[in-house]
Amino acid sequence: MSQLFQSTSYAGAGEHLFLSEELSDVTILVQSNSQSQWRYPAHRLVLSSQSTVFRRMLESNFSEKSTGSILIEDIKPKIIELLLGYMYRGRVSLQNWRDGLELLRAAHKYQVEPLVHFCSRFLENVISLSNVCYFYNEACLYSLTSLKEKCLKLILDAGFIVLRSKAFEILEKDSVMDVITNSDLNIDSELMVFEALLRWSPMQCCRVGLQMNEANILRELTPFLKYVCFDDMSDTDKSALPPAVLSCVKPNNRNRIAHHVPDSLLQFSRCFSFHTDQEFVECVGDALNCVSFSLDAPQYMIGLRFMVVTPECPPHMILSLVRSTAICHTMNLYSVAWKEGLQMNERKRYEAQILLRAPCRLDPKTVYKLLLTDRQQNTYCPKTKLHTKTLLVEKGRVNLSLHTESVWGVMGLIFL
C-alpha cells in the first residue's frame, strides 16, 4: 500500500538541494555493514530547521559540529533517504508497512514530529493480523493513542489467532498485560492464554538478560497468573498445565466474553467468491448439499454469503457446516438480515452475509459440506460457479477444491 504525505508548510523547499553536493556543509554517513558506508550530502540549515536532535548536534560542542559529519549506525540507508526526503521536500512515499515502521522509529529518534504522526496514520491503514503485535509495541512506546487503540482492538477481537502466532512472543511485558487482563479477549479456550504465556516467557527472559530456566520463566509468568480465568477451564485443560504453573494459580471468579465473530474482523477477511448461473433447484425434500469443499491450508471460517429466490423474505431454514457426519456449525437463515434483489416473475432474489456464531477452524485436505435443511416449498437456490479459487493470504496462497458437481445458493465463503 502506497501513501503520499505532503507538508503544506514546507512542500517543495529544498527540492534542488536534496542529495546535492551544492552548498553542502555536512555529510551523513550511514554504516550499513562492516564493509559498506553510505554517504549523503546535507545542509546544516535544513537539518537544524527540521530536527531538534540534529540542531543540538550541529550547534553544541559535539564532534558533529567540528567534523562536519554525522555517523548513523542503527538505521538503514533506505530509511535515512526517506527521512531526508521529508526534511528537504516536505513529502514522503511509503510502499510497505516495514518501511513505515522503521521510518516511524527514525522520525521519533530525530524528533521530526509531523513525520511521526504521518507514519502513525499510515500504519493505522495497513494493520493486519501479521503485523499488529509489532505496531502495538511501537504505539505503546511512542504514546500513539489512536494507533494503540486500533491495534489493541484487533488483538482482542482476533485473540484466537494472535495468541497462537509467533508475533505474540515479541510483545513487551506491559503490552501482554493489556491483552491478558482484558475481559474482551476473544478466545476459544483459556488454556490458550497459558500456552501463549508459556511461549512468551522464555523470549522475555532473553530480552531482559535472564538465564532461561524454570525459575526465571515462572518469575516472568507469575504477574499474569492472577488474571487468567481459571474457573472457565475444564479439568482436562487444567491437567495440561505444568505443575509449577498450576501451583501458582488460584480461583479468581474472572471470565471473558463468549467466543464469537465480531463484525470488525470482516475488514481483515478474504472470500472465495461465486457467480450465479441460470439454473435453480427448489428447496423441498431432503437436505440439499449446497457445496462440498476442501482447503489446502488451515483457515478460520467466519461466515458466508448465501442467496435464495422466494416470493417473500426467506422462511425458516437451517444451514449446517458438516465435517464427515459431525456438525461443526448451524445457522438459522430466518434470523439473518436479507438484502432484497431483483424481481424474478413472482419471486425475488434475497442475499445475506451470514457470520458464524464463533470462528470455525477448518483443517487442510478435509472435506466440509454445507447442508440446507428444513427446506420450504416455492423457495429456490440458484446454481453458482466458483470464481475465486485462490486466496492471497499473509503466509502465501490458499486454494479451494470443490467436491460436488453443482453448487447451490453459495455466493461466498469468508475466511480469516
Dihedral angle, C-alpha 180, 186, 187, 190, nearest 10 °: 40
CA angle (103 as vertex; 100, 105 as ends), nearest 5: 115
Of 370, 390, 380, the C-alpha closest to 347 is: 380
Mean pLDDT in residue range 247-253: 74
Mean pLDDT in residue range 335-361: 84
β-pair partners for 412: 273, 305
Per-range mean pLDDT, top range of 133-137, 255-259, 315-319, 345-349:
133-137
Confidence (pTM): 0.88
Of 200, 193, 353, the C-alpha closest to 265 is: 353
pLDDT of residue 198: 92
* Cβ(268)–Cβ(129) below 8 Å: yes
Q: Name the more confident of 194 and 342.
A: 194
For the cut 80, the answer to whether the pLDDT of residue 172 exceeds it is yes
pLDDT of residue 398: 95
Q: Name the more confident of 210 and 61.
A: 210
pLDDT in tens, 47-59: 888 999 988 888 8
pLDDT of residue 3: 60
pLDDT of residue 11: 44
pLDDT in tens, 5-19: 555 444 454 666 666
CATH of the domain at 311: 2.60.120
Shared domain check, 270 and 241: no
pLDDT of residue 20: 62
β-pair partners for 355: 303
CA angle (101 as vertex; 89, 197 as ends), nearest 5: 170
The model's confidence at residue 4, banded by pLDDT at 50, 70 and 90, is low
Per-range mean pLDDT, top range of 129-138, 215-224, 334-343, 382-391:
129-138
Residue 297 maps to a domain: yes
Shared domain check, 409 and 271: yes
Residue 135 maps to a domain: no
CATH of the domain at 120: 3.30.710.10
Shared domain check, 118 and 91: yes
Shared domain check, 171 and 33: no
CA distance 121 to 107: 14
Shared domain check, 117 and 231: no
pLDDT of residue 283: 65
Residue 152 maps to a domain: no
For the cut 60, the answer to whether the pLDDT of residue 1 exceeds it is no
Contacts of 228 (CB under 8 A, 6+ apart): 180, 190, 193, 194, 249, 252, 254
Mean pLDDT in residue range 156-168: 96
pLDDT of residue 232: 81
Mean pLDDT in residue range 310-317: 76
Shared domain check, 409 and 283: yes
For the cut 60, the answer to whether the pLDDT of residue 150 exceeds it is yes
Shared domain check, 122 and 93: yes
Q: Which of 73, 106, 126 is the last residue of a domain?
A: 126
What's the number of domains the chain is made of? 3
Shared domain check, 364 and 293: yes
Domain range for 386 = 263-415
Q: Which of 106, 126, 146 is the last residue of a domain?
A: 126
The model's confidence at residue 315, banded by pLDDT at 50, 70 and 90, is low
The model's confidence at residue 393, banded by pLDDT at 50, 70 and 90, is confident
CATH of the domain at 169: 1.25.40
Shared domain check, 275 and 231: no
Shared domain check, 34 and 105: yes
| pLDDT averaged over every residue in the chain | 87
Mean pLDDT in residue range 234-251: 80
Shared domain check, 282 and 237: no
Shared domain check, 71 and 38: yes
